[in-house]
Chains A and B, each alone.
Chain A
Amino acid sequence: MDKETLNTPNINAVKTIEDNSEQNINGKKPQKSKSPFQLALRRFLKNKLAVIGVFTLIVIIAGSLSAPLLTDHSPTKSNLLMVEHPPSDEHLLGTDQSGRDNWSRLLYGSRISLIVGFSAMFFTLIIGIILGSISGYYGGKIDNIIMRFTDLILALPFLVLALTIMAIVDDISVSLFVTIIALVSWPNLTRIIRGSFLSLREQEFVLGAKAIGASDMRIIFRHMIPNIMGLIVVNATLMVAVMIIVESGLSFIGMGIPQPQPTWGNMLTEALSVRILTQHWYAWIPPGLCILITVLAINFIGDGLRDAFDPKSNQR
Chain B
Amino acid sequence: MYKYIIRRILIFVPMLFALSVVVFALAKAAPGDPFTTMLDPNVDPEVYEERREAEGLNDPLPVQYYHWIWSTVQGDFGESLIYNGRPVLDLISARFLNTIYLGLVALFFTIIVAIPIGIYSARNPYSWLDYFATGFGFFGLAIPNFFFGLLAIYFFSIKMGWFPSQGTISGTDVAGMQEFFDRLHHMILPGITLGLAGTATYMRYMRSEVLDVLGSDYIRTAKAKGMTNRNVLYKHTLRNALIPIITLMGFEFGVLISGAVITERVFNYPGLGTLFLQGVINRDYPIVMALALIFGVFILVGNLLADIFYSVVDPRIRYD
Contact = CB atoms under 8 A, between A and B. Distances in A.
Interface stretch (A80-88, A190-198, A222-230, A267-275): A267-275
Interface in A156-189: 156-161, 163-168, 170
A163 B295 contact: no
Interface string A274-312: 100110010011001001100110011000000000000
Find the residue from A159, A248, A268 having the highest chain B CB count within 10 A: A159
B280 interface: yes
B212 interface: yes
Contact of B158 (A157, A277, A285): A277
A274 B280 contact: no
Interface in B167-225: 208, 211-212
B257 A157 contact: yes
Contacts of B208: 316
B142 A296 contact: yes
Interface in B1-36: 15, 18-19, 22-23, 26, 29-31
Contact of B150 (A160, A255, A284): A284
Contact of B295 (A160, A272, A284, A316): A160
Question: Interface extent on B, as a size class?
Answer: 35 or more
B201 to A, nearest CB: 12
Contacts of A163: 261, 276-277, 280
Contact of A248 (B15, B144, B158, B265): B144
Contact of A167 (B165, B266, B288, B299): B288
B147 A281 contact: no
B146 interface: yes
Contacts of B147: 268, 288, 291-292
A211 interface: no
Contacts of B165: 274
A4 B295 CA distance: 66
Nearest to B28: A168
Given A152-B19, A299-B138, A166 B146 contact: no
Contact of B280 (A249, A255, A278, A296): A255
B154 A277 contact: yes
Contacts of B19: 152, 155-156
A272 B266 contact: yes
Given A253-B261, A271-B150, A158 B254 contact: yes
Interface in B250-289: 253-255, 257-258, 261-262, 265-266, 276-277, 279-281, 283, 285, 288
Contacts of A274: 158, 165
B288 A164 contact: yes
Contact of B141 (A152, A160, A299): A299
B143 interface: yes
A277 B281 contact: no
A160 B261 contact: yes
B154 A170 contact: no
A148 B22 CA distance: 13
A245 B29 CA distance: 28
Contacts of B154: 277-278, 281
A284 B299 CA distance: 34
A278 to B, nearest CB: 5
A159 B296 CA distance: 12
B153 interface: yes
B212 to A, nearest CB: 7
B61 interface: no
Contact of B26 (A165, A241, A254, A299): A165
A167 B23 CA distance: 13
B291 interface: yes
B117 interface: no
A163 B165 CA distance: 26
Interface in A256-276: 265, 268, 271-272, 274
A152 B22 contact: yes
Given A163-B276, A291-B147, A299-B142, A158 B258 contact: yes
B129 interface: no
A176 B261 CA distance: 22
A44 interface: no
Find the residue from B279, B280, B299 having the highest chain A CB count within 10 A: B280
A214 to B, nearest CB: 33
Given A164-B26, A277-B153, A292 B142 contact: yes
Given A253-B277, A277-B158, A292-B147, 12 more contacts: A155-B296, A157-B258, A160-B292, A163-B261, A166-B280, A268-B147, A277-B150, A295-B143, A296-B142, A299-B142, A300-B138, A316-B208
**For the complex of A and B, 5 pairs with smallest distance between CB atoms:** A159-B258, A288-B147, A295-B142, A157-B257, A167-B280
7 contacts: A148-B18, A157-B253, A157-B254, A157-B299, A164-B280, A288-B150, A299-B141
Interface of B: 15, 18-19, 22-23, 26, 29-31, 138-139, 141-147, 150-151, 153-154, 158, 165, 208, 211-212, 253-255, 257-258, 261-262, 265-266, 276-277, 279-281, 283, 285, 288, 291-292, 295-296, 299-300, 303
